[in-house]
Chain A
Amino acid sequence: MSGQGAWLLEFGSGQTGVIGERQLLHLLPAPLSLHEVPASPFFCRHVVIWEQEPVPVMALSAWLEGRPSRDEPTVVAVAAFFDTRAGENRYGALRLSAIPRRIVVSDEQACELPPDMAEWREIALSCVGHQSRALPIVNLAHVFSGGLSRRGTASSFAEALPMEAKADIPSL
């Protein structure tokens, strides 16, 4: 059976996943102009302007680990997904630690999600084996739906910051 093209994405902290070839629309290289949104989840704190529109920027490695990422992304990938509830295409951006790599996968490569990747269960459509690695196929519609479970104890960036990271600021 012939394979299909896909993009291998590295989200940082060793977390990797796959999206469909046609889902990746644009790569935005660093330095990025990200706009912070207050009172947003620690795993999605920013929007980036793409095609004159604000697109949410997701730090999947932060969500997977349940704590905010302090790493600057190497690149941000704008991706498309179909929102079945709205019945239309939507757009989201993913923080990546490396340039995406194009790979080819086929149905024969389908595999179970390994037990040590249980945190992926909520956001993986399925999983493929590639070069001795299990690669979850990312459910972008769920990732950007606003329905992600709140992993970790912090619901916000500020809550998740270690005490020593908070500025020593003078009182009024």
Chain B
Amino acid sequence: MSASSAIRPVKSIQGRYVVLTFAGMPLVLPDTDVYTLEPSSDVQPGGEADGVAGWIQADGRRWPVVCLDQNLGMTTLVPAERRVCVLLHHEAGYAGVLCEAVTTLEAESCRSLSLPPVLSTPGSPVRGLVQQEGFLGCLTSSAALLGSLSSQVGLSPPSPPESRPGSEVHP
């Protein structure tokens, strides 16, 4: 018996997916949502008051960087394995996400599937599943992911770096 009738495909994208891996989970986004990749060593640590893991410089401004846990919630405790900062497009600019690894997939070779309703929670940024031979990842988008975090902390562009000298001090 096939399970195919139980799973409805969702709209797939053209081009490529970017796969962000952290906490052992692959998170898949359209590559158009990604602005650039930076080493996490370029991230200036954030303070407790910031609520974010740090800040990164791009296009002459500073942008917030978040570290996500296994529930896609933010944590300011950053595992050493998060060596890559993926800068995502955000409606007000950019926001960084710290990852362990980043790879790409040809969207054409993937199947996009809807998320079974029992796996969904209110406010979850997971929009579906992406399957390729031997691979299964959770599909989201920059807007969905960063939108789900905006209730935890404001991700609007911060003030210029010279006005926030204290945030560069490691706690």
Partner-B contacts on A (CB < 8 A): 25, 35-41, 44, 47, 49-56, 58, 80, 88-92, 143-148, 155-159, 167, 169-172
Number of A-B contacts (CB under 8 A): 132
A172/B78 in contact, CB under 8 A: yes
A159 CA to B23 CA, complexed, in Å: 15
Partner-A contacts on B (CB < 8 A): 1-7, 23-25, 27, 40, 43, 45-46, 53-54, 67-73, 76-80, 82, 98, 113, 115-121, 123-126, 129, 131, 136, 138, 148, 170-171
Residue of B25, B40, B76, B119 near A171 (CB, 8 A) is B76
A40/B120 in contact, CB under 8 A: yes
A55/B3 in contact, CB under 8 A: yes
Interface of chain B: mostly helix, strand, loop or mixed: loop
Residue of A35, A54, A167, A170 near B7 (CB, 8 A) is A54
A49/B136 in contact, CB under 8 A: yes
B54 to chain A, nearest CB (A): 6
A41/B53 in contact, CB under 8 A: no
Instruction: Provide the residues of chain B in CB contact with A91, threshold 8 Å.
Output: 3, 6
Residue of A49, A167, A171 near B45 (CB, 8 A) is A171
